[in-house]
Amino acid sequence: MIDTLLLDLGGVLIDVDYHRTADAFNALGFDGFEAIYSKAQQDHLFDGFEIGALSPEEFRARIRSLHGNGITDAQVDHCWNAMLGRIPPERIDLLKRLRTRYRLLLLSNTNAIHVPAFERIVADHNGITDLKALFDGAYYSCDIGLRKPEAEAFHHVLGRHGAEPARTLFIDDSMQHVIGARAAGLQAEHLDLYKEDLLQFVRRRGLMD
């Protein structure tokens, strides 16, 4: 029995293309950016930024030190946010329907530059000024100081809502996060975006009528 759904944000809800960020940085002369950042693996610089250990100013300075020239704050932000797409309206509708049946939670590995960027995207294109209000609880790694796939991140979120790991289904497009969730006692499924999107997954699993 499942009474709680825990969703990822990037890829599962909001479309993300990591190659766009790599291409944007590479276009500014940052050769081989994809070698230090990808969905599957990333440099400790990005891990630290995702748990709030680095401020946006420190992150931009680190990028400049790796880049080797006078890239501006605005250019760093533009390139870094280039990966962010939109949330199709049908996924917003799905969230509203899922919330009538399940406790609906969000856990995203994200950072202090991406948060205002995707919140602006959702406001501009979906007319939603409070993304977190779509959930019974929404948590960003940069705010809670914990990130997936650490067991503590999952337990922190579920504990805030009295949710039992064994009755929680976690859905993420990153396999390493799914493995971490299972190790933490959750039911967890990998959303293979090459085969299906969240709506198709929900129908296939029979999570909604």
* pTM for the model: 0.93
pLDDT above 70: residue 39: no
DSSP 135: S
pLDDT, tens only, 96-113: 999 999 999 999 999 999
**How far, in whole angstroms, is CA 185 from its chain's centroid?**
21
Q: What is the pLDDT of residues 128-151, one digit of tens each?
A: 999 999 999 999 999 999 999 999
Within this chain, do residues 90 and 77 fall inside the same structural domain, yes or no?
no
Please give the DSSP secondary-structure letter assigned to residue 131: G
Residues 96 and 195 in one domain: yes
pLDDT at 15 over 60: yes
Do residues 9 and 100 share a domain? yes
- CATH number where 94 lies: 3.40.50.1000
DSSP-based three-state secondary structure for 42:
strand
Is residue 40 pLDDT above 50, yes or no?
Answer: no
Domain count, the chain: 2
Identity of residue 129? T
Domain of 172 in residue numbering reads as: 4-15+86-205
